[in-house]
């Protein structure tokens, strides 16, 4: 069973039709929209500040979402995929974003809509990732603009697939 705990009187809140893997951990001031999924070994810690997630957000295996004590909350829009083992910390992620596997998005970053953070990228503190771009590398830099094919073929496809995958586990 998933670990879901209150911290300082604030308990995680879930929208309709969410899937939480049995070994996921979600604590504190976390509010999640509808059709979200939190996968195996993922951790969402709203203990030191709040975390807000929109609809159709998937937090894949081993990912960690956290904040900075009393300084930087984490806000995540709609249709966001956070890849396996990614870290999203004290930042703002707008709608329709793909955070690649093993990527790190640090405090006070803003990732605007229709952006992709490549696998393994490290987005340094305070970076503004422009809408419709791909950032890659260490430190992450803009490498190109996102095509409409990538928006629909990757960003939307992955978000929609995770809604489908979650249904498989709800039926088991």
Number of domains in the chain: 1
Check residue 21 and report its DSSP letter.
-
Q: Which domain holds residue 154?
A: 3-171
Q: Are 91 and 74 in contact (CB under 8 A)?
A: yes
72-109 as b/e: b if 16+ CB within 10 A: bbbbbbbbbbbbbbbbbbbbbbbbbbbbbbbbbbbbbb
Partnered with residue 13 across adjacent β-strands are: 31
Residue 122 is part of a domain; what is its CATH number?
A: 2.160.10.10
In this structure, the strands spanning 64-66 and 80-82 are unpaired
Cα distances from 35 to residues 48, 95, 125, 130, in angstroms, run: 25, 14, 30, 26
Which pLDDT value is given to residue 167?
95
Per-state percent for the chain, helix, strand, coil, to nearest 5: 15, 40, 45
pLDDT recorded at residue 172:
63
User: Is the model's pTM score more than 0.75?
Assistant: yes
Mean pLDDT per 10-residue run, the chain (172 residues)?
Answer: 96 97 98 98 98 98 97 98 98 98 98 98 98 98 93 92 94 68
Determine the pLDDT at residue 142.
98
Tokens of 48: 């030191």
């Amino acid at each position: 069973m998933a670990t879901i705990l209150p911290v300082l009187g604030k308990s995680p809140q879930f929208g309709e039709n969410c899937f939480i893997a049995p070994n996921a951990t979600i604590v504190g001031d976390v509010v999640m929209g509808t059709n979200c999924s939190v996968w195996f070994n993922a951790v969402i810690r709203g203990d030191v500040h709040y975390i807000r997630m929109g609809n159709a957000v998937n937090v894949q295996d081993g990912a960690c979402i956290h904040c900075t004590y009393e300084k930087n909350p984490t806000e995540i829009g709609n249709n966001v995929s956070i890849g396996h083992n990614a870290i999203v910390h004290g930042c703002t992620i707008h709608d329709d974003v793909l955070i690649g596997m093993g990527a790190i998005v640090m405090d006070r970053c803003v990732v605007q809509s229709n952006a992709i953070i490549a696998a393994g990228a490290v987005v340094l503190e305070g970076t503004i990732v422009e809408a419709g771009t791909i950032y890659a590398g260490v430190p992450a830099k803009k490498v190109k603009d996102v095509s409409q094919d990538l928006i629909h073929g990757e960003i939307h496809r992955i978000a929609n697939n995770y809604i489908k995958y979650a249904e498989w586990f709800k039926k088991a």
